[in-house]
Amino acid sequence: MEELVGAAWCEVLEREQVSVTVPFADYGGTSLLAYRLTTAISERLGRPVRPRDLLVASTVRAQAARLTRGVDDDSAELAYIRHDLAWRPPRTLLLTGATGFVGAHIFAELLTRSNAELICLVRCCDPPAGARRLTEVLDQYGLTAAWQALPMALKTGRVEVVPGDLGSELLGLPQWRFDAIASSVSGVVNAAGAVNFLSGYLDHRPANVLGVQELIKLAAGGARLHTLSTLSIFPPPGPGAPPITEDRIPEMDQVAADGYNRSKYVAESVLADAHRLGVRSVVYRLGEVWPHREIGVANPDSLAHNLLYACARTGCVFPTAAETDVTPVDVVGAFVARAATGELDVPDGAMHVLCPARLRFAEAFGVLAERSGLDRVGYACFRERLDAVAGSEERLVRLSLLLPPASGDRDGAAPEEFDRLFTDGTRHFDTRRFSRHARPPAADGLAMLDRYLGELTGIPAFVPQETFAPQER
């Protein structure tokens, strides 16, 4: 190898002989000559040699030894390059609604899968009380990794609890605190809001509308606003209607008359107006958000969950043609968190966060009936049993008020009015923008809920039923 390298030196330096111990520069070697030397050695070896592989060794002997041992490939440098390319500047995010169902899962994703610093606006008397609420809700929903990470994040200041109220002016904060947060955050994630289908617009207005207005003020300094909305602001499309695209917003007279949907429609309209004035925002329209696929803990305020819970609680199921879409909360939480941190480059505007999976309640009822030995009865009988047990649980009282009365047939299926309470959004909404960024799971809706349905099967065994005497066992 020394002979080969020496011959290349002689050729490039135009010398008859060179010493194997004299540095290349001592012979008048320049960077241009070093490049020619690399070419000459490559031709003699029959394989490419990089200039840097030779320049780290200055003599014929050292270069020959290096070439004999073999030079390093690019794997180590490429690993550093990939690591450096993955670096992102630290982000500080304001998060509202972290103690809610979807908000807790977004918070858990941000806490465990990003380096973002988090300011959590929590309705509480002081920061320690807010920290306890966050800890309790992570434990409630089985988000163990986040629950374990939270104490250290609070101690180091990565997570800061700020007592406040979304529905109050300046979020219930002093002007200086509001301004300080506005100047420090790069993004706002608004997962908070009032949801009560028995209440009107004015009950929802403080949190769902006025709160969004305050967050727009806060984001006007340059932060990007991410806020949750609902697909149900749109009326059910007629037969053969084209899919509802993500850039559409309904006319006011098309929005459902309940206070929740009206408030969400107004909030979206306000955000659209602010966007035209330069406030960047993303609206995530959600369908039916179901439990985490691996954990299976449900949203206690979900109508769909409370219906299935009521079936387990009353010990019966009934015929129905109702269908709904299925988007697990872990899909929603991960998507919103990645978008808020910039890991996903999502455009401004609305996005239909909807997995291409649907659930027929009759199928879910069948699984519950088989696993738990539930009675198969008519809708009227189910309503009788529900009314009998409802007084013992607030959630069942609310459900009973929302469900339509039974028709005359005691053994018949649920009325169409019941079926219309649920909508399969996959039939009506265009999700191409969401699918392009999220690649949502396409599993069968029933399969994605298997863990959750398994949790429901234990309810009759441990929920007290002294107030209910079954009539049709």
Average pLDDT over residues 222-229: 96
The CATH architecture to which 2-76 belongs is Orthogonal Bundle (1.10)
Helix, strand or coil for residue 418?
helix
Do the beta carbons of residue 324 and residue 424 sit within 8 Å? yes
Do the beta carbons of residue 134 and residue 122 sit within 8 Å? yes
pLDDT, position 461: 32
The span from the CA of 272 to the CA of 281, in Å, is: 8
pLDDT, position 460: 54
* pLDDT at 267 > cutoff 90: yes
One-letter amino acid identity for 55? L
Give the least confident one: 85-89, 127-131, 207-211.
Answer: 85-89
pLDDT, position 101: 96
Do the beta carbons of residue 425 and residue 231 sit within 8 Å? yes
pLDDT, position 30: 86
* Other CB atoms within 10 A of residue 8 CB: 25
Structural domain boundaries of the chain?
A: 2-76, 92-296+326-358
For residue 56, the 8-state DSSP code is: T
* pLDDT at 105 > cutoff 60: yes
* pLDDT at 80 > cutoff 80: no
What are the backbone angles phi and psi of residue 373, rounded to the nearest 5°?
A: 70, 40
Burial class (CB in 10 A: 0-12, 13-18, 19+), 80: exposed
The residues near 174 (Cβ < 8 Å, ≥ 6 apart) are none
- Which tens digit of pLDDT belongs to each residue from 300-337? 999 999 999 999 999 999 999 999 999 999 999 999 99
For residue 429, the 8-state DSSP code is: B
Average pLDDT over residues 145-159: 97
Average pLDDT over residues 404-410: 80
Tokens of 449: 């809920």
pLDDT, position 279: 95
Average pLDDT over residues 277-293: 95
* pLDDT at 466 > cutoff 70: no
**Mean model confidence pLDDT for the chain:** 89
**Is residue 167 very low, low, confident or very high in pLDDT (cuts 50, 70, 90)?**
very high
* pLDDT at 353 > cutoff 60: yes
**Is residue 465 very low, low, confident or very high in pLDDT (cuts 50, 70, 90)?**
very low
Give the least confident one: 80-94, 111-125, 153-167, 386-400.
Answer: 80-94
- Report percent pLDDT > 90 for the chain: 64
How much is the pTM? Answer: 0.80
* pLDDT at 468 > cutoff 60: no
* pLDDT at 226 > cutoff 70: yes
Question: What's the CATH superfamily of 92-296+326-358?
Answer: NAD(P)-binding Rossmann-like Domain (3.40.50.720)
pLDDT, position 11: 93
> In terms of Cα–Cα distance, which of 459, 464, 453, 463 is closest to 370?
453
> In terms of Cα–Cα distance, which of 351, 301, 302, 309 is closest to 326?
302
pLDDT, position 467: 38
pLDDT, position 379: 95
What are the backbone angles phi and psi of residue 161, rounded to the nearest 5°?
A: -95, 125
pLDDT, position 3: 92
pLDDT, position 442: 67
The span from the CA of 351 to the CA of 121, in Å, is: 25
* pLDDT at 471 > cutoff 50: no
The span from the CA of 382 to the CA of 276, in Å, is: 50
